[in-house]
Amino acid sequence: MLKITLPDGSVREVAPGTTPADIAAAIGPGLAKAAIAARVDGELRDIMRPLEQDSQLALVTSKDEADALELARHDFAHLLAEAVQALFPGTQITFGPATDDGFYYDFAPKDRPFTEEDLPAIEAKMRELIAANKPLRREVWTREDLIARWKTEGETFKAEWAAELPEGEELTVYWSGGDWLDMCRGPHLASTGKLDPNAFKLTRVSGAYWRGDQKNAMLSRIYGTGWLNKKQLDAHLTRLEEAAKRDHRKLGAEMDLFHLQQEAHGSVFWHPKGYLIWRELEAYMRRAIDAGGYREVKTPQVMDARQWEQSGHWGKYRENMFVIPDEVPNVADEGPLVSDDADWMALKPMNCPAHVLIFRQGIKSYRDLPLRFYENGCCHRNEPHGALHGLMRVRQFTQDDAHIFCREDQIVAEVQAFCELADRIYKDFGFTYSIKLALRPDKRFGTEEMWDKAEEELRNAVAAAGLNTPEYGWEELPGEGAFYAPKLEWHLTDAIGRTWQVGTIQSDRVLPERLDASYVGEDGERHRPVMLHRAIFGSYERFIGILIEHYAGKFPLWLAPVQAVVATIVSDADDYANEVVEKLRAAGIRAEVDVRNEKINYKVREHSLAKVPNLLVVGRREADEGTVALRELGKEGQSVLAVDDVIARLAKDALAPDMQ
């Protein structure tokens, strides 16, 4: 008999082959109906999978939302594949994972790529399969049998993948009823009927390369979103609709902030209004880092490959670096552009090695530490074209980057001070956030003792700042640290509930060792500093993209590129409008005048679309009385006020939060 321990500590003795569903039924009919899966010794499993040994068992219900959503989305992906093969015979299947809000599946169509016109029929077929309540059954197969099955059915992609799975790995398939199967680790729900047929929607179709390699076959990827019930789906679709309205690419064009074009893939053309936002952020951050005791530096864009080899980036990161031959290119008609013996350089993908080289200039004493070097550092990373996304993922970006060189006894205090600085800055922008600690990855530099110490220091610093609480979403993320250091991550929550990982601080003992950074200690001996890598915005490009979507283009007054427009109703008021603009500018308010021969309603609509926060309308009466009719973006009606009163109202909010 097997001994099965339940969460309340009670132990049940059951025969081998008993399933978690059997135990749920033995406990009571309510639980038997509610249980959808099980955690066996912490592993999420099918509720119909037999127990094999003494185990800790926790039954999973839809109240365990994270587990329930993962199961449902995995099932929706399999249903999508089954439906496509039923409707389009000859289509090959590849992969179909769950995602953060749904699922997708990659297909190799027989005749033509899929289009969005195909989605309604596929959705209908999926609902038909749900209504059939087909059991989802797990089987273990041998590698030879599985490969033979795939080859017999013409599933060349699946056969290739099965052949490359590690020796000794258990290969499992899941049957949908008795007539369709897919290779899958699982787990799954007990049957298709456990899904809500009204809780999913197929959203779009795109191209995708087999195994993510552009040298391989192009596949059709169908995306869907899946939830536990229709209410959740409707809420998600509403969020998507709101997100589409806030898309920074759309608003960036409407507000004339920036543009992107293929002549500079992944690099941003900033227009005057967009770059004004950048400059305000840069000035704000400079005031913050100056007050925090940082020293601003500037380092080269191009460095010798040998430097990147010594730092470890050449071996770990080279595929994402832009590499440059260190020689004059051949200008003759014949022969190679670059010779075989050219030395190599690279555009910097990060600033840290260069900051170490600054630290190494001259002898440093323990009394000099901490040294805080800050740089608005322009970096380049060779991201694939298909991964680029507006301002959110680019090839050229500028980091609000700093590296703190400190002694062992200063680490906790320095990280605590950074936590407090980041807290003030994020709150100035109206963000709430959570903090995560990303722990050592499988592939890493350094000793276990070093990682133990570095991780504990970060924990202690967050605790000292009072941020390791449920209010701040404190969580530890195993395996997600950098190859050289653990890191704290700040995940911002925007106005519609999305999260963005932005700020980080990393405690690094590896790079100072690899690049031979040292200081003279109180004992007269050489010691290695600890290097804290930190950023708050992350990159200016991405942070501005987040801000555009967070505010839906309606920036707080201090960040608005144009803070006020004075618009005339009649040409008789043109001179007065110019006088008002000059007064606004003298008070430090970014103001423009609109004296075009257009109707006032046209002007109001145009400036509203451009998200100008304040429109000051003037006509003959306002010119005679020294007033303006103030229309505030997002508010109904208008207020007639004296010019000086309007300036007094706007002047304070036109300043950055740290200057008010």
Q: Which residues form the catalytic set?
A: 352, 381, 399, 401, 403, 487, 533
DSSP per-residue letters across 152-202 = HTT-HHHHHHHHHSPTTPPEEEEEETTTEEEE------SBGGGS-TTSEEE
Report the C-alpha gap between 403 and 531 in whole angstroms: 6
Q: Which residues contact 79 (CB under 8 A, 6 or more apart)?
A: 126, 129, 130, 176, 192, 195
Residue matched to tokens 């090695």: 353
| Residue 143: φ, ψ to 5° | -60, -45
Burial 393-413 (b: 16+ CB within 10 A, else e): bbbbbbbbbbbbbbbeebbbe
Q: In this structure, what token pair is assigned to residue 36?
A: 């959808």
Report the C-alpha gap between 554 and 540 in whole angstroms: 18
Report the C-alpha gap between 589 and 655 in whole angstroms: 9
CA separation, residue 545 to residues 252, 489, 502, 610, 658 (Å):
9, 19, 12, 16, 22
Report the C-alpha gap between 597 and 618 in whole angstroms: 14
| Residue closest to 616 by CA, chosen among 567, 580, 658 | 567
Report the C-alpha gap between 621 and 570 in whole angstroms: 11
DSSP 8-state secondary structure symbol assigned to residue 121: H
| Residue closest to 650 by CA, chosen among 547, 553, 555, 558 | 558
CA separation, residue 55 to residues 19, 82, 289 (Å):
12, 34, 54
Q: In this structure, what token pair is assigned to residue 220?
A: 């059709």
DSSP 8-state secondary structure symbol assigned to residue 465: T
Helix, strand, coil share (%) of the chain residues, nearest 5: 40, 25, 35
CA separation, residue 558 to residues 253, 257, 353, 382, 628 (Å):
21, 16, 35, 34, 21
DSSP per-residue letters across 58-83 = EEE-TTSHHHHHHHHHHHHHHHHHHH
Residue matched to tokens 């192009």: 218
Burial bucket for residue 15 (CB in 10 Å: 0-12, 13-18, 19+): exposed
Q: Which residues contact 653 (CB under 8 A, 6 or more apart)?
A: 556, 557, 558, 660
Strands (E), 517-568: 519-520, 526-527, 530-535, 564-568
C-alpha atoms less than 13 angstroms from C-alpha of 578 in its C-beta half-sphere: 6
Residue matched to tokens 């010691």: 527
DSSP 8-state secondary structure symbol assigned to residue 328: P
Report the C-alpha gap between 296 and 599 in whole angstroms: 50
Report the 10 Å Cβ neighbour count for 628.
29
| Residue closest to 198 by CA, chosen among 383, 72, 366, 341 | 72
CA separation, residue 378 to residues 298, 301, 557 (Å):
10, 7, 28
DSSP H or E run through 486: none
DSSP, collapsed to helix, strand or coil, labels residue 621 as helix
